[in-house]
């Protein structure tokens, strides 16, 4: 997170395939993350930067949030940039599968349109579903936000 409240993180996504454009300056993805934090304060600026650079690297996708509460998931699939932003990010969670896949899986669980129970057993229910359930259940009257955020992270940790 930078001093302007912009946050960026990466998660593994093995199927990532970055666009290749030899006419654009090439930058390794971890350096791009550093550049983002040094240069920007909004989701829109981060998304715009992708069109001016040729990002390269491992199988990662990215979650970005800014100080006004906007969030986005940026994925690189089939050699093109896929941006989930605004209404296309109904829950601010990113794990290790494509965002659309995660949303589709969520629809099978109770409370999200399906009939499968949401178990908090780490091996029974996907991390994405557990995180979304925990966000949905959050009440600031019961627990401070920072403490609850660490509870979510602890629940999602897989060793």
Sign of CA dihedral 106, 108, 113, 118: negative
Among residues 95, 83, 91, 86, the alpha carbon closest in space to that of 107 is found at 91
C-alpha 98/C-alpha 83 separation (Å) is 11
C-alpha 108/C-alpha 84 separation (Å) is 21
Among residues 85, 98, 81, 84, the alpha carbon closest in space to that of 21 is found at 81
C-alpha 53/C-alpha 9 separation (Å) is 18
Looking at residue 122, its pLDDT comes to 82
Instruction: Break the chain into its structural domains and give their ranges.
Output: 1-96, 107-159
Report pLDDT digits (tens) over 148-157.
999 999 999 9
> How sure is the predictor about 105, in pLDDT bands with cuts at 50, 70 and 90?
very high
Q: Which helix (H) or strand (E) holds 26?
A: strand 26-28
Three-state DSSP class for 72? Answer: strand
Tell me what the pLDDT averaged over the chain comes to: 96
Report whether pLDDT(159) > 80.
no
Looking at residue 22, its pLDDT comes to 96
Contact 26/18 with Cβ under 8 angstroms?
no
Contact 158/131 with Cβ under 8 angstroms?
no
Residue matched to tokens 């199988």: 59
| Total-model pTM | 0.91
Report pLDDT digits (tens) over 4-33.
999 999 999 999 999 999 999 999 999 999
């Amino acid at each position: 997170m930078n001093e302007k409240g912009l946050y960026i993180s990466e998660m593994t996504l093995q199927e990532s395939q970055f666009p290749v454009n030899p006419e654009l300056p090439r930058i390794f993805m971890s350096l791009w993350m550093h550049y983002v934090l040094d240069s920007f304060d909004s989701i829109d600026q981060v998304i715009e930067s992708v069109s001016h650079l040729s990002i390269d690297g491992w199988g990662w996708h990215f979650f970005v949030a800014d100080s006004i509460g906007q969030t986005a998931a940026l994925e690189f699939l089939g050699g093109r940039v896929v941006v989930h932003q605004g209404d296309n990010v109904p829950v601010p969670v990113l794990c290790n599968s494509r965002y659309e896949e995660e949303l589709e899986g969520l629809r099978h669980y109770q409370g999200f349109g399906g009939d499968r129970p949401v178990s908090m057993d780490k091996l029974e229910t996907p991390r994405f579903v557990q995180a979304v359930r925990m966000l949905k259940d959050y009440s600031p009257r019961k627990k401070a936000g920072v403490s609850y955020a660490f509870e979510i992270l602890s629940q999602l940790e897989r060793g």
